[in-house]
Structure formats: C-alpha cells, structure tokens
Amino acid sequence: NAGVTQTPKFRVLKTGQSMTLLCAQDMNHEYMYWYRQDPGMGLRLIHYSVGEGTTAKGEVPDGYNVSRLKKQNFLLGLESAAPSQTSVYFCASSYEEGDTEAFFGQGTRLTVV
C-alpha cells in the first residue's frame, strides 16, 4: 500500500520552462489537494479536487493549473515557471470531507532559477 506518491521528488527548472507534478493515491480517495510550503508561511492550498473530473481554486492558484482525469491521479502544472514558484509542493488526499484525516505525499522540492 503506497499511500500518496509524488513524482518527481526534486526538480530544477529555468524561468519560463514548464513541468507537471504527478500525485497518485491508491486509497480510493475522493478528495485531493495540492499545497505549497514556504518558510514561515505553513502550507497554502493551490488547487483541490472533490472528485474525478472536478477541480477548484485554493488560496494561491495563480500560475498553476491542475487536472483530475482519473480518480487516483491529480496533476499540477506550471506553464511558465517563475522564481516565486520555488517551493516544496505537497499533495494530499482524503476519503471524504471532515471525518477522516488527509494523507500527505513526501513532497516535491522545486527550484526555479
């Protein structure tokens, strides 16, 4: 049982490049989330999904896009990376709202130079 798996774990991008972060969960969870973690700011929600085929904006969505074509996968895209997007990105999933905990991936450390 792998839980929540993020790919890749590390990446360095040049300004203007694009990339996609993959989050996969094998727990049949409906809800999935992308957060970014920056020093002194905790985790902030970028986008989330409450089921296959749905996405919604979180607190800091600008510069990111997401897709949830399959229930088990939640993709985070950066179309044109900027240094301000240097961060650690965490994916999380939960079975349903409220009553269960969210399970987190190990994180992706992204540096944009």
Partner 1 sequence: AQSVTQPDIHITVSEGASLELRCNYSYGATPYLFWYVQSPGQGLQLLLKYFSGDTLVQGIKGFEAEFKRSQSSFNLRKPSVHWSDAAEYFCAVLLYNQGGKLIFGQGTELSVKP
- Interaction of residue 106 with partner 1, rule CB under 8 A: yes
Token duo for residue 95: 């079975």
Q: Is 107 in the site for partner 1 (CB under 8 A)?
A: yes
Gyration radius (Cα) of the chain, Å: 13
Distance CA 54, CA 50 (A): 6
The smaller minimum CB distance to partner 1, of residues 31 and 64, is found at: 31
45, 67, 71, 86: residue in contact with partner 1 (rule CB under 8 A): 45
Q: Can you tell me which of 24, 33, 81, 110 binds partner 1, judged by CB under 8 A?
A: 33
From the list 8, 43, 17, 34, the residue with the least C-alpha distance to 112 is: 17
State in angstroms the smallest separation of the CB of 80 from partner 1.
26
Within 8 A by CB and 6+ apart from 111, the residues are 11, 12, 13, 86
Stretch that binds partner 1, among 13-21, 61-69, 71-79, 86-94 (CB under 8 A): 86-94
Between β-strands 73-78 and 64-67, what pairing exists: parallel, antiparallel or unpaired? antiparallel
Closest approach of partner 1 to the CB of residue 81, in Å: 22
β-strand partners of 111? 12
**Which residues form the interface with partner 1 (CB under 8 A)?**
4, 31, 33, 35, 40-45, 48, 50, 56, 58, 90, 92, 94, 96-99, 101-102, 104-107
